[in-house]
Structures are given as structure tokens and as C-alpha cells.
Amino acid sequence: METDEEVGAVAENHDETDQSEHVDLLVIGWGKGGKTLAGTAARRGQRVALVEQSDDRIGGTCINVACVPTKILVHDAEQRRDADDADAYFSAAVERRDTLTAAMRRKNFSMLDQLDSVLLVSGTASFTGEREVRVTGGSETLTLTADTVLINTGTAPTVPSIEGARVGGRIHDSETLQHVSPLPRTLVVVGGGYVGLEFASMFAHFGSLVTVLDRGERALKAEDDDVAQTATEILRGDGVTVVSRASVVSISDDDETARVTYEVAGEQLTADADAVLLALGRTPVTAELGLDHAGVRTDDNGFIVVDEHLRTSADGVFALGDVNGGPQFTYVSLDDYRIVSDQLFGDGERSTADRVAVPYTMFLTPPLARVGLTEAQARKRGHDVLVGAKQMADVAAAPRAKIEGDPRGIVKVVVDRETDFVLGAALMHVHAQEVINLVSLAMRHGITATVLRDSIYTHPSATEALNEVLAALR
């Protein structure tokens, strides 16, 4: 691997196996924020070192095991026809996933490798002092010191403290399930959150019979009842069984099957399946970093504690991306880059407090996108609200969803009666992941619901639903 050759070259130049190097900027982990700042600093003439312990993570989690590969699989699952052979179709989708992620890894590597002042290092990093890191790669070690250090190591799927829970055999996390073989005819998903429901929807469309065990009172507990009900009914219509108030007791597997034992209302039940997905959150990758040697504090869950400028408790050390405990989205990591870049090269005023109306999308089929407050949250905060809500199938002025053959979903917008400002929106329909960006932009810049209602949108588009739904505020 080319990154190993970088370490080897350093060893050769120093004629010893334990070498040292000082750089202006040291980035630990190839996540979105860190890799972007590495390139920016190098182009400004700084000497930069970027350390990544896994060749299959070059470019970051997003392009290798998260956003990009899973959305490839979601897209291909949506295109499957009943006549398609499920196993062959799934294998082809996985192959397409692997081809694209490999190309993106190569591109990400070359983008930094072509910069003369960037040192790419393959190995495991651990702090040995203030802004001092030892990198171990095979039989070689490299000690790196830096004026500024960025910790950008991200998170990994959590293995819950449930009897028998592990990753191996028929038991998977969100990374290993992407290469499950053959396609499981039956799948049990432990966890009804963001990841669990995305994978449930995806595998149902690939042809698996999916059961989701959710410990909450209902799925999508953060959403209003009407939005959650719409999404749940769509999942059920696609063949997903959602079991609420399910407390998983144990998990086991053998050569033939996997079994999940769980309790509902005091009754013990079992679910057998070809595969089990553990989808109960993510854990920060900090345990092996030796953060105490650098004076970097973490919270009780292992996330690095940062201030509004992403500075850690150690001078000259920043934490970017999922590892700092903020929203776990690639685009938030990119904004982390903007904040730290402003600290290093700008006026230092940009901060996390500037983030207003940050949207997100759960890539169900169709996608569920949200920004701002729910109706329940807005009322609880004392807003006098107007609400516009329609099932997408009932929105006459936006035929795009019907044209694409999937008119399911809901459009819901919450508006402050006094100011006419949009407080929040939940959009579940085709292209919702795009329309939500328009709504969030309006919220950030004080564009009123009336302006959104009376704006001219292309036809036929999903955006047109805003004309009709906002005209029905009450």
C-alpha cells in the first residue's frame, strides 16, 4: 500500500526503525473534516501529516462504509423488480457498491498524495505527550510532533451489552451486513433508530422478510405522531414488521440460523432469522488514542469534549467529526472543517453556535427528511403555531411522486403564527432529501412561509408540494 511506503521512506531516510518528524499540522483519521483541512493547510504551504490505521478507510467512513455505499444499496434495492432473482440482484448491487467506493478511495488518496507537503502515514496512532503521537505500522514506528493536532477518528458501530451480542457468523453490524452472503431470506434488526430502519427498508426491498425490535414506545419517537404513523405504515406495507417495547434478552447463532430472544410486556418471545443486525448506536473511536497523555478530556461515553470552536482541553488540539459528540453527519464534519480552518487561518469567529436549521434525511423508501422543530416541540416551547400537513398522495399540485410511481408519504410544515417564520418541517416523499435543503435555507435566512408558498417552482417537481401545503396552514 502506498501509505506504508511513506512510512518506509521515512525510516530509510533516517536509517533507523524508530523515527521522528515535526509537522505544522497532524491529522489523525481520514474523515471529511480532517482530510479537507489537510488539503487546505498543505496548499497554504504548511507541512501536514495524515495518519490512517486502515487502508479500507482511506477517504473516511462516509465513502467506505456509511453514506455512499449504503445509499448505493438503497438506490439499487428500490429499483429491483419482482421478477429479478433476489440473490443475483443483491450480489450485483454489492459489486457496484464496491467498485464505486474503491474508486472514491483512490481519488481521495491521490488528492492528498499529489501535494508535496503532505505526508501520508499508515498505522495506529497513540498520544505519547502534548501534540506528540507515536504511529505504529508493522515493525516500524514513527513519532510525530506538531504545532496543531486534529483528532478525526470518527465512530464505530456499538456492540451492545446483550448476552451473545458480537459481530461474527450470522450476527452483523451495519458494516458487515453490507457484504452478507447470500442475501438473508429473513433478517432481525435489533434497534429501531436511524440506522436500523434504513437497513430494514433497504433489505425489505432486496427481498428479505424483516423484523425490527424497537425498545421504544413506538418507532420514530422523535417525530410527531402523524409523521411516525405514516412512516411506519409505509415500512409495514413494504413487508417490515416493527415490534415496539421489545427488550432483547439474548442473541445466539449456529450454522443454520440465528435466534433473538426478547420480551414484550413481560412475555418472552423468540425470533429466528438467517441474519441479525445490531443497530444500537455508534461508539467513538478514542479508547486506544492515549488521550490522557495529551491532556484531552472525554465524556462518560468516550466522546471528546470540545468548546464551540472545537478546541479540546489540550492546547493546540482540535476534534472534528463524529468523535466530538456532535451530530453524526458528514456535512456537519465539513462544517467542523470550516470552524477549525477559521481558527487557524481566519478571524476565529465561526463556531458551532452558527449552526441553524441543520437538516437530516433518513433514507427510507421514500426518504424521510426533517429540519427544525416538530409540532409537539414547537407547542411545548410556547409557540402559537400554524400547521400545514397533507399526505403526498393528496397533494394535487405536485404530481412528481405519482409520475415516479410512489405517491406515499407526508408533507408537514410548522409555522409561527405571529412571525410567519417556518419553525420546522418533516417531508417524507420522493426527493425529500433535496426539498428539505430549500426549507432549511429559508429558515436560516428568515424567508417566510408566505414567500415559500407563493414562490415559483419547476413543474413537475416535489418542491411544488410547498405551494399547496403552505396554502392550507391552519
* Residue 310: φ, ψ to 5°: 70, 20
Percentage of the residues of the chain whose pLDDT score is greater than 90: 96
pLDDT digits (tens, 9 = 90+) for 373-392: 999 999 999 999 999 999 99
Tell me: pLDDT of 62 over 70.
yes
What's the CA gap between 153 and 296, in Å, rounded?
Answer: 14
Which residue has 467529526 as its cell numbers? Answer: 321
Q: How big is the chain by its Cα radius of gyration, in Å?
A: 24
**Which single residue is written with the C-alpha cell 426549507?**
439
Report whether 133 contacts 153 (CB < 8 A): no
Q: How far apart are CA 112 and CA 122, in angstroms?
A: 14
Q: Which residue has the cell 403555531?
A: 385
Fold entry, domain 2-156+283-354: FAD/NAD(P)-binding domain (3.50.50)
Residue 311 DSSP SS3: strand
Residue 459 annotated to the active site: yes
HSE-CB for 211 with a 13 A CA cutoff: 20
pLDDT of residue 9: 35
Which whole number is the average pLDDT over 320-338? 97
Report the amino acid identity of residue 399: P
Query: CA dihedral defined by 352, 353, 357, 358, rounded to 10 degrees?
Result: 10
DSSP conformation letters of 214-239: --SSSSSTTS-HHHHHHHHHHHHHTT
- Among the residues of 406-447, which ranges form H helices? 432-444
Percentages helix, strand, coil for the chain (3-state, rounded to 5) are 35, 30, 35
Q: How far is CA 334 from CA 52, 114, 225, 338, in A?
A: 18, 21, 32, 7
pLDDT at 4: 39
Yes or no: domain 360-470 corresponds to CATH 3.40.605.10 = no
| 8 A C-beta contact, residue 366 and residue 429 | yes
Instruction: Name the band, by pLDDT with cuts 50, 70 and 90, for residue 18.
Output: confident
What are the phi and psi torsion angles at 50 (to 5°)? -125, 125
b/e string for 12-38 if b means 16 or more Cβ within 10 A? eeeeeeebebebbbbbbbbbbbbbbbb
> What single string gives the DSSP state of each residue in 336-404?
HHHHHHHHHHS-S---GGG--S--EEE--SS-EEEEE--HHHHHHTT--EEEEEEEGGG-TT-THHHHT
> 61, 31 in Cβ contact below 8 A?
yes
pLDDT tops 70 at residue 396: yes
As to burial, measured by CB atoms within 10 angstroms (0-12 exposed, 13-18 middle, 19+ buried), residue 280 is buried
Q: Are 24 and 39 within 8 A, CB to CB?
A: no
Identify any residues that bridge with 95 across adjacent strands, giving them in sequence order: none
> Dihedral sign, CA of 340, 345, 351, 354?
negative
- Residue 333, exposed/middle/buried by CB under 10 A (0-12, 13-18, 19+)? buried
For residue 203 the three cell numbers come to: 433489505
Compute the mean pLDDT over every residue in the chain, rounded to the nearest whole number. Answer: 95
Query: pLDDT for 421-454, tens place per residue?
Result: 999 999 999 999 999 999 999 999 999 999 999 9
If one looks up domain 171-280 in CATH, what number appears? 3.50.50.60
Residue 139 — pLDDT band, cuts 50, 70, 90? Answer: confident
pLDDT for residue 15: 40
DSSP label of 45: T
Q: How far is CA 133 from CA 5, 16, 71, in A?
A: 19, 18, 35
**Cell numbers at 54, concatenated:** 486502515
Q: What is the mean pLDDT of residues 327-347?
A: 97
Residue 367 to residue 178: CA distance in whole angstroms: 20
User: CA 466, CA 447: separation in Å to the nearest integer?
Assistant: 13
pLDDT confidence band for 17 (50 / 70 / 90) = low
Which of residues 107 and 8 earns the better pLDDT score? 107
Half-sphere exposure (CA, 13 Å, Cβ side) for 428? 25
CB distance 420 to 450 below 8 Å:
yes
> What is the rounded distance in angstroms from the CA atom of residue 414 to the CA atom of residue 136?
53
What share of the chain in percent tops pLDDT 70?
A: 96
Cell of 97: 457498491
Q: What is the pLDDT of residues 236-255, one digit of tens each?
A: 999 999 999 999 999 999 99
The confidence band for 138, taking pLDDT boundaries of 50, 70 and 90, is confident
Q: How many CB atoms lie within 10 A of CB 8?
A: 14
Cβ neighbours for 411, distance < 8 A, ≥ 6 positions apart:
388, 389, 390, 392, 395, 425, 427, 428, 429, 465, 466, 469
pTM of the model: 0.94
Domain with CATH 3.50.50.60 in the chain: 2-156+283-354, 171-280
